[in-house]
């Protein structure tokens, strides 16, 4: 893990913008115009929050080093993701944390050590600067926790009515470890399947605060950077890990169906073993949703050689983000390309990939 | 919430299933009326737990109780035409959005610029109307007796608040006439019914004793959890074996004989009984509700006067046969081929309560043997 610049965590809890930004308590078109206002946003907001040597040059591109002890095999992984979540702040997180953790997790499940991120903001005219500051603060904190640096970025402003407050894109690069070879196409018959904790928390946390659907609940998003957890697993059982995925949109079902397809194997899980919080299960019942289709932002699924299953499970449970980890199933050479679940009644059913959005039902 | 575990206990389920096996001496066909029950049966594999021998069997036939599925194509096309109009905010429950009309669906109308919104309660649509006085807000009020009270409440509230820009595109259907229609049909095979638990929570079951008497058929009010369903089936089989024809309540924790009196009073005020066309089935006399004269001003069909609707049903789709219980979804030639949830030919493949969607999503195009082998191979792995 690189040394994190301790200066990079200013306190934004009572943030107010120094002059002349205070002239504009909200985003105006000029903030994206490439001129003085935009520069002020960088100098007063982004740079103090994300400060690191690569960013401080404020060049058109960050110049990075991936050699030395961090260099590994010299192979790098790269990923990008865009974040358009509504609401921007929700129980357990915000769009800023999602933007950092989402890209960190995509790199981590590819077997890479996440290093550097870019951050691009598309802001709507009129968006309150105080909210932007809170988002940036949460990104800085998330980057700090994940041990990555935000080294380059961009801001654009769109006219009022042409955006939804704040969209964020992050891209990231990480270095691949020697001797680790994971991918969704590498699951093998006999592999054990583990999930790092309860499923559906993020999706239901968002649902509980979505306009028109607010319901009282204690459900919090599981939004978290998984690189530490994955590092622990790879350190303990590296070559035995064949595939990893973070089951985000489309939930556990999409992830397991994708791996079944990519690896041309059958995936079989035991429904009773899939950990689901009671609150999440209840909220899903209320809305007619199935937790296996609901999004997660801080969970990983592991396909590991059967002899490593116990070790990986113990390693996961030793980590703060893996306390509720469970062995949920196995890979089989039958029903290739399909996800089949043993139901609580003891029968079997196919869990099909989701088509489009999951829609709350009529009654 | 204990019901999540209490009514899904696998051991108790096996025990009830064994009891059903022990008491079944002949071939019985039981229809579950409600689409929610169909999904629970298929999702939990309850049909696989029932007797299926050469001399004794219990076969579940899936009924027409999916509100999305039986909504007439013409009304869906009207909804699409209204939703596409400028100045209209068209509100619907989520699972109506993907139901195909003749040429389009509500998602496509939304994509093309129509203001289509998913709401979770018709009262949210009334609030939208109050907040947007320059827009016409239309709620797509479909469903059985379960959704009717909330829809009735929406026009009741809109009238009280004096809202002139709210209307209801209404196509309500009723369970008892559908049961009569199924039992009157010449090829009927159904020997007992599991009555829909949620419908009965609103309506009670006072309407059913005359039906049980007229058709000499057991009717069991049944819930949706695995143990509810197995208990409903068990009680129906006991009656069938005895030759009795009672109305029984196997969902006592929710349903009373009288039902929800407040809701029924409101329904009687807002709606009146009418003939309704059921998609795939045809017109059933006195099988639905429309707005009563006192609430006519809230009728979206009258307000928008949509003309020139030419509906064309897919020639391949056999949703009607599925809804009548004449065939199982996988027996339709288009099932899983031309017709999938991604490209549905009929509503039964779309709705979360549609029988075709249940069969497709839970893999019932595979044989039971294929699934079973998959499972046992796994436990040995």
Interface size between A and B, measured as CB pairs under 8 A: 132
Contacts of B96 in chain A (CB under 8 A): 362
Secondary structure of chain A in the HEC alphabet? CCCCCHHHCCCCCCCCCCCCHHHCCECCHHHHCCCHHHHHHHHHHHHHHHCCHHHHCCCCCCCCCCCHHHCCCCCEEEEEEEECCCCCEECCEEHHHHHHHHHHHHHHHCCEEEEEEEEEEEEECCCEHHHHHHHHHHHHHHHHHHCCEEEEEEEEEECCCCCCCEEEEEEEEEEECCCCCCCCCCCCCCCEEEECCCCCHHHHHHHHHCCCCCCCCCCCCCCCCCHHHHHHHHHHHHHHEEEEECCCCCHHHHHHHHHHHHCCCEEEEEHHHCCCCHHHHHHHHHHCCCHHHCCCCCCCEEEECHHHHHHHHHHHHHCHHHCCCEEEEEEECCCCCCEEEECCCCCEEECCCCCCCCCCCCC
B322-343 pLDDT, tens digit per residue, is 888 889 998 999 998 888 887 8
Structure tokens at A93: 């997180």
Helix (H) or strand (E) holding B238: helix B226-242
- pLDDT for A358 equals 65
Q: How far is A47 from chain B (nearest CA, A)?
A: 39
Matching CATH number, A6-176, of 3.30.1330.10, 2.60.40.10, 3.40.50.1820, 2.60.40.740? 3.30.1330.10
Low-confidence ranges of chain A (pLDDT < 70): 1-24, 34, 67-73, 211-213, 355-363
Q: Please list every residue in chain A whose beta carbon sits closer than 8 Å to the beta carbon of residue B341.
A: 352, 355
Strand, helix or coil for residue B207: coil
Across-strand partners of A93? A90
Q: What are phi and psi of A169, to 5 degrees?
A: -115, 135
Cβ-Cβ contacts under 8 Å for A338 (sequence gap 6 or more):
A257, A260, A266, A267, A350, B363
Q: What is the pLDDT of residue A18?
A: 40
pLDDT in tens, B247-267: 999 999 999 999 999 999 999
**Closest residue to B4, CB basis, from A281, A329, A335:** A281
The Cα-based distances of A358 to A20, A288, A292, B80 in angstroms read 46, 9, 11, 21
Query: Residue B381 above 70 pLDDT?
Result: no
Inter-chain residue contact B374 with A344, CB threshold 8 Å: no
> What Å distances lie between residue B147 and A328, A352, B270, CA to CA?
37, 28, 13
Chain B residues with CB inside 8 Å of A345's CB? Answer: 8, 10, 13, 44-46, 49, 226
pLDDT reported for residue A246? 95
Specify the 3-state DSSP secondary structure of B195: strand
> Is the preceding peptide bond at A87 cis, omega within 30 degrees of 0?
yes
Check CB contact under 8 Å for B4 and A331. no
Per-residue pLDDT, B342: 79
User: For residue B40, what are its two tokens?
Assistant: 């629970």
Residue in chain A lying closest to B124 (CA): A212
pTM: 0.80
Please name the residues in contact with A242: beta carbons below 8 A apart, sequence gap of 6 or more: A182, A186, A187, A188, A191, A303, A304, A305
A190: left (phi over 0), alpha (psi -120 to 50) or beta: left
Cβ of B370 within 8 Å of Cβ of A361? The answer is no
Predicted confidence at residue B103, as pLDDT, reads 87
- Domains of chain B (ranges, CATH numbers): 3-64+182-249 (3.40.50.11750), 68-174+259-304 (3.40.50.11740), 319-368 (no CATH)
**DSSP conformational letter for B121:** S
Q: How far apart are CA A334 and CA A268, in angstroms?
A: 9
Q: Average of pLDDT values for B212-232?
A: 96
Cα–Cα distance between A268 and A190 in angstroms, integer? 10
The nearest CA of chain B is from the CA of A94 a distance in Å of 24
Which pair of tokens denotes residue A308?
């490593």
Q: How far is CA B245 from the centre of its chain?
A: 24
User: How many Å lie between the alpha carbon of B307 and the closest alpha carbon of chain A?
Assistant: 28
Does the distance separating the beta carbons of A338 and B97 come in below 8 Å?
no
Q: Closest partner residue to A190 among B42, B362, B381, by Cβ?
A: B381
**First-to-final CA distance of chain A:** 51
Omega before A72 within 30 of 0, i.e. cis:
no
Q: Nearest 10 degrees: CA dihedral of B221, B223, B226, B227? A: -60
Residues A346, B14: C-beta atoms closer than 8 Å: yes
Chain B residue at shortest CA distance from A207: B120
Question: Which CATH code for domain A192-350?
Answer: 3.90.650.10
- The answer to whether A86 faces chain B, any CB pair under 8 Å, is no
Q: How many CB atoms lie within 10 A of CB A226?
A: 27
Q: What percent of chain B has pLDDT over 90?
A: 65
- Specify the higher pLDDT residue, A315 or B347: A315
Checking if the pLDDT of B107 tops 70, the result is yes
- Residues A171/A228, Cβ–Cβ less than 8 Å: no
**The two three-digit tokens of residue B166, written as one number:** 């709210």
Number of C-beta neighbours around residue B258 at 10 A: 11
For range B315-323, the mean pLDDT? 88
CA distance B375 to A333: 11
Confidence of residue B371 (pLDDT cuts 50, 70, 90): low
Interface test with A, best of B374, B376, B379, B380 (most A CBs within 10 A): B374
Using the beta-carbon criterion (under 8 Å), do B374 and A348 form an inter-chain contact?
yes
In angstroms, how far is CA A235 from the centroid of its own chain? 21
Task: Give B216→chain A minimum CA distance, Å.
Answer: 30
Strand partners, A195: A301, A326
Continuous segment of H or E residues that includes residue B100 = none
- In this structure, how many other beta carbons lie within 10 angstroms of the beta carbon of residue B96? 25
CA distance A276 to chain B (A): 12
Question: Among all chains, which residue has been given the structure tokens 């603060």?
Answer: A137
| Probe site for chain A from B229, B378, B379 (most A CB atoms < 10 A) | B378
Beta bridge partners of A191: none
A362/B36 CB distance under 8 A: no
pLDDT of residue B127: 96
- For B200, the token pair is 């009965």
Q: Are residues A268 and B124, on separate chains, in Cβ contact within 8 Å?
A: no
Q: How many CA atoms lie within 13 A of B354 on its CB side?
A: 33
In chain A, what is the greatest distance between 2 CA atoms, to the nearest angstrom? Answer: 67
Nearest Cα residue to B372 out of A338, A346, A253: A346
Q: Is residue B215 over pLDDT 80?
A: yes
Q: Domain segments of chain A: what residues? A: 6-176, 192-350
Residue B74, burial from CB neighbour count under 10 angstroms (0-12, 13-18, 19+): middle
CB neighbour list of residue B288: distance below 8 Å, 6 or more residues apart: B171, B172, B173, B174, B273, B274, B275, B276
């Amino acid at each position: 893990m690189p040394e994190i610049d301790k200066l990079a965590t200013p306190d934004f809890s009572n943030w107010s913008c120094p002059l002349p930004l205070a002239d504009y308590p909200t985003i105006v078109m000029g903030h994206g115009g490439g001129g003085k206002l935009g520069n002020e946003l960088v100098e007063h907001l982004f740079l103090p929050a994300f400060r690191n040597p690569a960013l401080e040059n404020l060049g058109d591109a960050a110049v990075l080093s991936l050699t030395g002890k961090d260099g590994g095999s010299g192979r790098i992984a790269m990923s990008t993701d865009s974040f358009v979540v509504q609401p921007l702040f929700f129980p357990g997180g915000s769009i800023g944390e999602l933007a950092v953790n989402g890209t960190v997790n995509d790199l981590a499940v590819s077997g890479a050590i996440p290093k550097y991120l870019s951050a691009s903001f598309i802001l709507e005219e009129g968006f309150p600067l105080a909210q932007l500051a809170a988002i940036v603060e949460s990104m800085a904190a998330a980057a700090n926790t994940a041990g990555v640096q935000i080294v380059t970025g961009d801001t654009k402003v769109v006219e009022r009515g042409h955006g939804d407050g704040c969209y964020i894109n992050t891209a990231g690069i990480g270095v691949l470890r020697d001797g680790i070879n994971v991918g969704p196409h590498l699951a093998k018959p006999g592999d054990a399947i583990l999930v790092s904790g309860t499923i559906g928390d993020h999706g239901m946390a968002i649902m509980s605060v979505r306009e028109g659907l607010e319901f009282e609940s204690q459900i919090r998003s599981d939004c978290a950077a998984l690189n530490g957890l994955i590092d622990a697993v790879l350190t303990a059982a590296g070559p035995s890990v064949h595939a990893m995925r973070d089951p985000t949109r489309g939930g556990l079902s999409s992830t397991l169906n994708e791996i079944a397809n990519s690896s041309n194997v059958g995936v079989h899980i035991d429904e009773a073993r899939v950990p689901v919080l009671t609150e999440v299960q209840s909220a899903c019942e209320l809305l007619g949703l199935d937790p296996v289709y609901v999004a997660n932002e801080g969970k990983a699924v592991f396909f590991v050689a059967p002899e490593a299953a116990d070790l990986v499970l113990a390693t996961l449970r030793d980590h703060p983000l893996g306390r509720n980890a469970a062995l949920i199933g196995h890979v089989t050479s039958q029903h290739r390309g399909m996800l089949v679940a043993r139901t609580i009644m003891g029968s079997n059913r196919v869990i099909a990939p989701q088509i489009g959005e999951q829609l709350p039902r009529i009654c | 919430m204990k019901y999540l575990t209490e009514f899904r206990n696998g051991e108790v389920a096996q025990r009830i299933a064994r009891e059903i096996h022990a008491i079944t001496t002949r071939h019985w066909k039981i229809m579950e009326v409600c689409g929610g029950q169909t999904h629970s049966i298929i999702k939990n594999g309850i049909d696989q737990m029932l007797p299926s021998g050469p001399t004794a069997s219990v076969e579940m036939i899936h009924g027409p109780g999916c509100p999305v599925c039986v909504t007439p194509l013409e009304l869906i096309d009207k909804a699409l035409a209204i939703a596409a109009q400028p100045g209209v905010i068209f509100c619907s429950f989520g699972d109506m959005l993907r139901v195909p009309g003749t040429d389009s669906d509500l998602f496509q109308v939304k994509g093309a610029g129509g203001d289509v919104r998913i709401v979770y309660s018709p009262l949210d649509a009334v609030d939208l109307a109050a907040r947007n006085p320059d827009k016409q807000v239309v709620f797509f009020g479909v469903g059985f007796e379960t959704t009717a009270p909330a829809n009735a409440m929406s026009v009741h509230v809109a009238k009280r608040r004096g809202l002139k820009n709210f209307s209801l595109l209404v196509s309500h259907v009723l369970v008892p006439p559908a049961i009569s229609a199924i039992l009157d049909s010449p090829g009927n095979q159904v020997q007992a019914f599991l009555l829909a638990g949620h419908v009965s929570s609103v309506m009670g079951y006072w309407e059913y004793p005359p039906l049980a008497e007229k058709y000499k058929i057991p009717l069991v009010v049944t819930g949706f959890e695995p143990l509810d369903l197995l208990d409903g089936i068990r009680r129906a089989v006991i009656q069938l074996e005895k030759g009795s024809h009672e109305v029984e309540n196997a969902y006592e924790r929710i349903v009373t004989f009288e039902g929800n009196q407040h809701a029924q009073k409101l329904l009687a005020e807002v709606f009146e009984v009418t003939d309704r066309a059921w998609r795939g089935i045809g017109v059933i006399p006195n099988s639905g509700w429309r707005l009563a004269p006192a609430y006519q001003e809230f009728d979206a069909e009258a307000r928008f006067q949509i003309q020139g609707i030419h509906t064309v049903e897919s020639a391949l789709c056999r949703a009607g046969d599925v809804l009548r219980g004449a065939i199982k979804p996988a027996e339709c030639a288009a099932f899983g081929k031309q017709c999938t949830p991604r490209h549905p030919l009929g509503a039964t493949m779309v709705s979360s309560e549609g029988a075709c969607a249940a069969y497709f999503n839970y893999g019932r195009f595979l044989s039971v043997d294929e699934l079973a082998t998959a499972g046992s191979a796994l436990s040995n792995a």
